[in-house]
Structure 1
Amino acid sequence: MTEIVSTNKPRPQSAARTIATIALGVVFITICAKLRVPSWPVPMTLHTLAVMTLAVGFGPRLATATFLTYLAVGAAGLPVFSGSPERGIGLAYLMGPTGGYLAGYLAASWVTGTLALGRRTLGRTLAMLAGLAVTYLAGLAWLALFVPLRDVMALGFMPFIGGDLVNIAMVATGALVLPARLAARLGR
């Protein structure tokens, strides 16, 4: 009896390609962070758009690695965060009012990417909403350390939820087809 052994195994992504993908993802997140509407204590940015696009396009591991790299680059002092350097840089920025949202986006990268795997539009949309909920839970809990509890929803949720839902709708409906397809091609 002759046994045929297949050598057509999927090749793992090369290290150079992974690094390039993560670097491009960090640039994308940074651009989305810099496109902002100044507000206090948390600026309005396109972070949600970036995180959800990458989570759906890259999957959980690469999306999380990309956002973690973004946080590390910012913690090291590079001005990648919204409003940096004028609102602070490095660890000082991460310890400020937006730190909880940034931690929430890190968790959302994993949650959204995991829940979106193999799903169609509705499933990806629900995955993004779950990721957004994680972001808000972390962000609002952290923000409560900086503003009176009675003001947390008014300052950290109400001004942002409408825009975040529009961002999710854009990713879900394919308004970002090219970035999502590029992310999928690079990430997988």
Structure 2
Amino acid sequence: MSTVPENDPAAALGRADAAPAARTRTSADVALVATFAAFVAVCALLPAIVVGGLSVPITLQTFGVMLAGVVLGPRRGALAVGLYLAVGFAGLPVFAEGTGGLAVIAKPSFGYLISFPLAAALAGYLASFALRVRPARRPLVFFAAAMAGSLLVTYPPGIAVLGWRMGLGPGEAIAFGATFLPGDVIKNVLVAVVAAAVFRAFPDMLRQRR
């Protein structure tokens, strides 16, 4: 039972101050989610590298996905990547090689694509442990978080769908998928470097991730 009188001016003032703060925080969340969704799209649309006729083009798309999770946190990171996918499935050509629409469901790369929101969420959750270590060690946490998102979330469905669509056996599909690992290691090193730089410039962002 509340002990604060309903007509207490101080309590009323506190409630009045809380409403604008909540609106400001929501507006900031929406802006960050939209900005990172656009950033992932830009990363996907940069010229792809196709090695040896690979059916899955190598782009900076996963760099954008993991950076969204690490910088924004699990919920906002997943929302940013989910918004990116929604825009792409709606028909805008924001996926790799300028593709878009529901036709991408038939591509060998669809398993990687659909895993991105959960991968960003896992990377964002694990990156939170950086608050428990010294600043000098935080890039290692960010790198480990991004690698976990790649290996534990993106690779399993990506390789499974890739093997199914290309008619590969389990061993062949895993070997094919492993060709992307060196590139992902490099991209996740960049994620750690960029995230560390962002949090040095804006230290409150690390504590306010969600």
Tell me whether 13-22 or 94-103 shows the greater mean CA deviation: 13-22
Q: Please say if residues 57 and 181 of structure 1, whose CA atoms lie closer than 8 Å, have aligned partners that are also in contact.
A: no
Which of 42, 67, 74 is the equivalent residue of 1:60?
74
SS at match of 2:70: helix
CA distance in 1, matches of 2:209, 2:95: 23
**Structure 2 counterpart of 1:164:** 184
Give the TM-score, by structure 1 length.
Answer: 0.81
**Structure 2 counterpart of 1:122:** 140
Q: 1:24 to 1:171 in 2, by over 3 A?
A: same
For residue 179 of structure 1, report the CA deviation from its aligned partner: 9.3
For residue 117 of structure 1, report the CA deviation from its aligned partner: 0.8
CA distance in 1, matches of 2:209, 2:81: 14
**Structure 2 counterpart of 1:136:** 155
Q: Please say if residues 53 and 180 of structure 1, whose CA atoms lie closer than 8 Å, have aligned partners that are also in contact.
A: no
The one-character-per-residue Cα deviations of 1:122-144 (angstroms, maximum 9, x if unpaired) are 22222111101111112001112
Q: 1:175 to 1:115 in 2, by over 3 A?
A: closer
SS at match of 2:59: coil
Q: Please say if residues 101 and 138 of structure 1, whose CA atoms lie closer than 8 Å, have aligned partners that are also in contact.
A: yes
CA distance in 1, matches of 2:60, 2:199: 14
Which of 80, 83, 87 is the equivalent residue of 1:69?
83
Tell me whether 62-71 or 169-178 shows the greater mean CA deviation: 169-178
SS at match of 1:145: helix
CA distance in 2, matches of 1:153, 1:17: 41
SS at match of 1:157: helix
* Greater length-normalized contact order (CA 8 Å, ≥ 6 residues apart): 1
Q: Which consecutive unaligned segments of at least 5 residues does structure 1 have?
A: none
Tell me whether 114-123 or 103-112 shows the greater mean CA deviation: 114-123
Tell me whether 163-172 or 59-68 shows the greater mean CA deviation: 163-172
For residue 40 of structure 1, report the CA deviation from its aligned partner: 2.9
Higher helix share: 2
CA distance in 1, matches of 2:200, 2:156: 26
Letter in 2 for 1:37: I
Percent identity between the aligned chains? Answer: 33
- What do you get for the CA RMSD once the two structures are aligned? 3.1
CA distance in 2, matches of 1:106, 1:178: 21
Letter in 1 for 2:155: Y
Letter in 1 for 2:37: V
Q: 1:40 to 1:167 in 2, by over 3 A?
A: same
- Determine which structure has more spread, i.e. the larger CA radius of gyration: 2
Runs (4+) off by over 6 Å = 185-188
Which of 37, 40, 49 is the equivalent residue of 1:26?
37
Q: Please say if residues 64 and 110 of structure 1, whose CA atoms lie closer than 8 Å, have aligned partners that are also in contact.
A: yes
Question: What does residue range 32-47 of structure 1 map to in structure 2 within 5 Å?
Answer: 32-35=43-46, 36-38=48-50, 39-47=53-61
For residue 34 of structure 1, report the CA deviation from its aligned partner: 1.1
